[in-house]
Amino acid sequence: MPQVKFLFDFGSPNAYLSHKVIPGIEVRTGARFEYTPILLGGVFKLTGNQSPATAFAGIRNKMAYENLETRRFVERHGLSAYRMNPHFPVNTLQLMRGAVAAQALGVFEAYVDRMFDDMWERGLKMDDPEVIRAAFAEAGLPADELIALSATDEIKGRLVAETQAAVDAGAFGAPSFLVGDELFFGKDRLHAVEEEIQRQSRAA
The two most distant CA atoms of the chain are separated, in Å, by 50
Distance between CA atoms of residues 161 and 85, nearest Å: 28
Distance between CA atoms of residues 82 and 120, nearest Å: 6
Contact indicator for 2, 179 with CB cutoff of 8 Å: yes
What pLDDT score does 53 carry? 81
Distance between CA atoms of residues 204 and 198, nearest Å: 10
Task: For residue 33, give its domain range.
Answer: 4-203
Closest CA to 35 of 98, 120, 135, 108: 108
What pLDDT score does 125 carry? 98
What pLDDT score does 204 carry? 81
What pLDDT score does 26 carry? 98
What pLDDT score does 51 carry? 86
Entry pTM: 0.95
In the sheet with 182-185, reading across from the earlier edge strand, the strands are: 33-37, 4-8, 176-179, 182-185
Contact indicator for 35, 16 with CB cutoff of 8 Å: no
> Taking the chain (204 residues) in consecutive chunks of 10 residues, what is each chunk's mean pLDDT?
97 98 98 98 96 87 94 98 96 98 98 98 98 97 98 98 98 98 97 98 91
Our count of domains for the chain comes to 1
Return the CATH number at 131: 3.40.30.10
Those residues with Cβ within 8 angstroms of residue 106's Cβ, 6 or more apart along the chain or in another chain: none
CA 59 to chain centroid, in Å, comes to 26
